[in-house]
Amino acid sequence: MENPLTPEVLADPVQLTRALVDIESVSLNEKAIADCVEEVLRGVPHLTTHRHGNTVMARTDLGRSQRVVLAGHLDTVPLNNNFPSTMRGDLMYGCGTSDMKSGTAYALHLAVTLPEPRYDVTYFFYEAEEIESRYNGLNLVAEAFPEWLQADFAVLLEPTYGIVEAGCQGTMRAIVTTTGERAHAARSWHGVNAIHGAGEVLRRLQTYEARRVTIEGCDFREGMNAVRINGGVAGNVIPDLCEVEVNYRYAPDRDPAAAEEHLREVFAGFEVAVTDAAAGAAPGLEAAPAKEFLAAVGAAPIGKLGWTDVARFAAMGIPALNFGPGDPNLAHHKDEHVEISKIRDGAATLHRWLAPA
């Protein structure tokens, strides 16, 4: 295949977005797109390029006092009759237009066109973000070549519709169990109904007042919800077990241990088993490159409510935020699209931030 990422395409973030979208790269099928990106980067004299699996990274080594990472994943969710891209007015439709090839295009465009950025930059194009974390290229490189990710600040170019979404909430799942005693439904007074017992669990969730926390100027709104309920033996049996699965999204001023403690407080008197937990990430807006980035954006940041790979950077001690042109509400939708003007605005912002003064 001839590489569609020609110099003319690389010079224009819009054309580059479209070219990247038109290289199919559903998770675990990123070889073709990684080959194209790698070939481009290896041809750029001011970059050192490295590849691990289908993750490609390139860095400047200009001896700057600060280093930043610009990161984008190369994969998409499965196609849904939305490949290749199509244009309708100011909108580019197609799988990956919003999440996140328009963002990934920024990194590739800047890597090629900016030989002397104000900071040293590590450009990071990774595989398998949309599937289980054991395949995630950022995870794999963090394990195998952590030095490739050392930096003072990272921008993850995920869709945020052109604003800064900083940090992210943590997430925890737990099973709250009620127990009882089986009996024939005809003589129910001989048993204890565990499903009725779960009523109190649901009542506590219903009356739960979720916190709103402001951290570094960013609002984080927590939530605690029942997401599944299991119980019952048979149509004529008083059930002796009921399990309510609870999902708790918590602000990054709590770590998983503090979140678990809070969960156990809320469900005091019940058996609670945590089944899954991921730490959040503080906004991390204090680093000098982060402050300068915010100045270039010129709009107030908000807290990221979902869990994203910024938490993986935070776990490595690297403050990170999300910034990309796509609308996050369109990610993974059949009608996924991105506004051309948003692509241009974001590219100008990144240029203001990174271009030499």
Compare residues 98 and 178 and give the one whose CB is closer to Zn ion. 98
CA distances from 32 to 37, 38, 121, 210 (A): 9, 10, 24, 45
Burial (CB count within 10 angstroms: exposed 0-12, middle 13-18, buried 19+), residue 61: exposed
Query: In the bound complex, what is the minimum distance in angstroms from residue 100's beta carbon to Zn ion?
Result: 4
Compare residues 60 and 139 and give the one whose CB is closer to Zn ion. 139
Q: How far apart are CA 151 and CA 294, in angstroms?
A: 18
Q: Which of residues 138-177 bind Zn ion (CB under 5 A)?
A: 158
Query: In the bound complex, what is the minimum distance in angstroms from residue 72's beta carbon to Zn ion?
Result: 8
Q: Of the candidates 100, 201, 281, 347, which one interacts with Zn ion according to CB under 5 A?
A: 100
Q: Which residue has the tokens 């190369």?
A: 74
Q: HSE-up of 5 (CA within 13 Å, CB side)?
A: 23
Compare residues 146 and 306 and give the one whose CB is closer to Zn ion. 306
Query: In the bound complex, what is the minimum distance in angstroms from residue 167's beta carbon to Zn ion?
Result: 17
Compare residues 99 and 327 and give the one whose CB is closer to Zn ion. 99
Strands 223-231 and 241-250: antiparallel
* Residue range at the interface with Zn ion (CB under 5 A); choices 99-107, 116-124, 147-155, 183-191: 99-107
Helix ranges restricted to H, 31-79: 31-42
DSSP 3-state of 108:
helix
Query: In the bound complex, what is the minimum distance in angstroms from residue 308's beta carbon to Zn ion?
Result: 8
* Residue range at the interface with Zn ion (CB under 5 A); choices 14-22, 91-99, 192-200, 249-257: 91-99
For the beta sheet containing 55-59, the strands, ordered from the edge strand earlier in sequence to the opposite edge, are: 48-52, 55-59, 120-126, 67-73, 153-156, 320-322, 165-166, 302-303
Compare residues 23 and 242 and give the one whose CB is closer to Zn ion. 23
Judged by CB under 5 A, how many residues of this single chain contact Zn ion?
3
Q: How far apart are CA 348 and CA 236, in angstroms?
A: 67
Residue 209 neighbours by CB under 8 Å, 6+ apart: none
Query: In the bound complex, what is the minimum distance in angstroms from residue 158's beta carbon to Zn ion?
Result: 5
313, 284 contact by CB (below 8 A) = no
Residue least distant from Zn ion (Cβ): 99
For position 38 contacting Zn ion by CB under 5 A, the verdict is no
Q: Which of residues 268-287 bind Zn ion (CB under 5 A)?
A: none
Compare residues 158 and 165 and give the one whose CB is closer to Zn ion. 158
User: Left (φ > 0), alpha (ψ -120 to 50) or beta: where does 122 sit?
Assistant: beta
Query: In the bound complex, what is the minimum distance in angstroms from residue 309's beta carbon to Zn ion?
Result: 8
Catalytic positions:
75, 129
* Residue range at the interface with Zn ion (CB under 5 A); choices 98-106, 199-207, 270-278, 343-351: 98-106
- Token couple for 11: 């010079």
Instruction: Work out the number of other CB atoms within 10 angstroms of the CB of residue 322.
Output: 26
Q: Of the candidates 99, 240, 260, 336, which one interacts with Zn ion according to CB under 5 A?
A: 99
Per CB under 5 A, residues contacting Zn ion are: 99-100, 158
